[in-house]
Structures are given as structure tokens and as C-alpha cells.
Amino acid sequence: MPTLREVEHSLVDALLRREDGAAVSYIVDDGIAGAERLAIHRGTLVGGLTAVLNGVFPAVERLVGAEFFAGAAACYIEESPPSCAWLDVYGDSFADFLTRFEPARGLAYLPDVARVEWAVARAANAPDRPALSPAGLAALSEAAQAALVLHPHPSWTLVETVWPADDIRRFVLDGDDEALAGLDMTPSRRWLAVHRDAHGTATLRRLDADWAAFVRRLLSGETLGGIITAETSPAHLKMFAQHLAAGCFVLGEN
């Protein structure tokens, strides 16, 4: 008689890797083969997780088509199944998977689109944390302000891409084929700050290289007094004020 552990492990092998042998030997065959019964569960598993990925990566799905996406999702699920039922965190490595997914090799921009979509999903679902506000900062003494170490709000991500993935995503979701066809697809480094705004909506903001470097410095662990000095450029001060007003920073680690 198999132990419970043997049964459970046999279902992992059967449902994720199609290695049905052990599981089938444990199942009553009364007119419907054990493999067919397991296929019902495999369909639920793969179908359910594919729907989750589809919900997070709708632009990727539209770019490659439902059949291609389902095939990619099935391979990803087998390679990187979720570890828990909290599926809002599932799909974090899908963009990296797409870079290795041979059938998508000709679609070099696809992983970047997935990175942007993941950041948007993360922005929507990130834990609720009170952000540091301009008023909150102003209420601190000068010494306390200088000693502050800023951290990104849990919903904030800086995405670096080579392709204009934000525009691709937008045009694909809008169904604007003309704009999509007219995109300048010259590879170059791009930075995108993605964040949940006060209304709960994910917002995307392009940063140039200088701004991206400054934002990275703001979040590097250095004190605010060491970053914002009399020599700080007006452009950087303006960007800091914009990010502060948008609720991009929190105090303390996420």
C-alpha cells in the first residue's frame, strides 16, 4: 500500500511531467483508465494557471496568439510551477523564460513586453503601504530629513528595456495596428517607472538615463542629506518632488 507521501508525489510527476506510471497504479480503473482521469486534473491545473498568466500578460498573448501563448504557458508551468496558491505572485520569471523559449526567439521584444506587464501587475497587486508624502517630509526636522533613507513603495518598479515595450503594450491592448506598425523599433536602453497611483491604477512613466540613474541613487540606501544637496540640479529636484508627490517612496524596508 503506498504511503500518502508516495501518492502525493506521484500526482506531481503525473500532472506536471506526464509521468503517470506510479499514479495510475494507485487508481481504480473501472471503465475509465487512470490516465484519462488524471488528464482531467492536468487540464484543470494547466488551464487554470494559463488563465492566470493570460490575465497578467494580455499583450504578450495578443502578440503571439492564443495557441502559441498556451504552448509557452504549458512549458513555463512545467519548468516553474507556483509554490503556493497565492497566484498574484505567479509569473515573476515568465519574461526571463521567454528569452530562453526557442519558439519565441524571433520575437526579441517579447520578454521586454512581459517585463512591463509584470511590473503593471505587481503595481496593481502590491501590498498596501502608506507612502511618504510631501507633507510628511515637511513635518520632519531638517536633521531628520537629512538622515532619511528612502525605499521604493512596494508597487514601484524601475523596468529597463531595450525595445519600446510600453508603447508596444499600449498599442496592442488598444488594438492600434497602425501605431504599432509605425513604431521605431531601433534597440536602445529605455527606463520605465511603474507604480500604483492614489486611485489604485498602475501608471507608467518613461525616464531618461539621467533620471533613471538619479532615481536609483535615491533608492540606493544613501541618506537623503547625502543625495539632495545645494548642488543638486533643478531637474533632479523636480523629479524628486514628482516622485514624492506620486507616493513612490516609503520609509523602511518593504
Partner 1 sequence: MKGTGPIPAAAGIGLRFCHHRAVLAEKPAVGWMEVHSENYMSGGEPIAFLQAIRRDYPISLHGVGLSLGSVDGIDAAHLDRLADLTLRIEPGLVSDHLSFSVARGVYLADLLPLPMTEEALQTVCRNVDCVQDRLKRPILVENPSSYLRYRHSVIPEAEFLAAVAARTGCGILLDINNVYVSACNHGWDASAYLSAIPTGVVGEIHLAGHSLREVDGRTIRVDDHGSPVAEAVWTLFAEALPRFGRLPVLLERDNHIPSLADLVTEAGRAQSVLDLNGVAHADAA
Residue 75 makes contact with partner 1 by CB under 8 A: no
**Could you say whether residue 88 binds partner 1 (CB under 8 A)?**
yes
* Shortest Å distance, C-beta 187 to partner 1: 33
Report how many residues bind partner 1 under the rule CB under 8 A: 47
Residue 90, SS3 per DSSP: coil
Q: Do the strands 190-196 and 249-251 form a parallel or antiparallel pair, or are they unpaired?
A: unpaired
Site residues (CB under 8 A) for partner 1, limited to 187-206: 196, 200
- Measured between alpha carbons, how far is 238 from 53 in angstroms, rounded to an integer? 37
Q: Which residues pair with 44 in a beta bridge?
A: none
Cα(61)–Cα(222) distance, integer angstroms = 40
The C-alpha atoms of residue 191 and residue 206 are separated, in whole angstroms, by: 6
Q: Is residue 160 classed as helix, strand or coil in its secondary structure?
A: strand
Name which of residues 137 to 176 contact partner 1 (CB under 8 A).
154-155
Query: Judging by DSSP bridges, how do beta strands 249-251 and 150-152 pair with one another?
Result: antiparallel
Residues near 125 by beta carbon (within 8 Å), at least 6 away in sequence: 88
Specify the residue, 75 or 87, whose C-beta has the smaller distance to partner 1. 87
Are 81 and 74 within 8 A, CB to CB?
A: no
Rounded to a whole number of angstroms, the minimum distance from the CB of residue 92 to partner 1 is 13
Q: Which three cell numbers stand for residue 16?
A: 506536471
CB of 156 to partner 1, least distance (A): 13
Instruction: Verify binding: residue 62, partner 1, rule CB under 8 A.
Output: no
Q: Which of 21, 65, 82, 226 binds partner 1 (CB under 8 A)?
A: 82
CB of 155 to partner 1, least distance (A): 8
Say what the alpha-carbon torsion angle 247, 249, 253, 254 is, to the nearest 10 degrees: 40
Residues 2-61, interacting with partner 1 (CB under 8 A): 2-5, 7-9, 11-12, 15-16, 26-28, 30-34, 36-38, 40-41, 44-45, 48-49
For residue 120, the one-letter residue type is: V
Distance between CA atoms of 134 and 43, rounded to whole angstroms?
51
Calculated CA dihedral for residues 69, 71, 72, 75, nearest 10 degrees: 150
Considering beta carbons, is residue 27 or 193 the nearer one to partner 1? 27
Check binding of 83 to partner 1 (CB under 8 A): yes
* 86 is an interface residue for partner 1 by CB under 8 A: yes
When the beta carbons of 130 and 226 are compared against partner 1, the nearer one is: 130
Smaller CB separation from partner 1, 4 or 135 = 4
CB of 8 to partner 1, least distance (A): 4
Binding site for partner 1 (CB under 8 A): 1-5, 7-9, 11-12, 15-16, 26-28, 30-34, 36-38, 40-41, 44-45, 48-49, 81-88, 124-129, 154-155, 196, 200
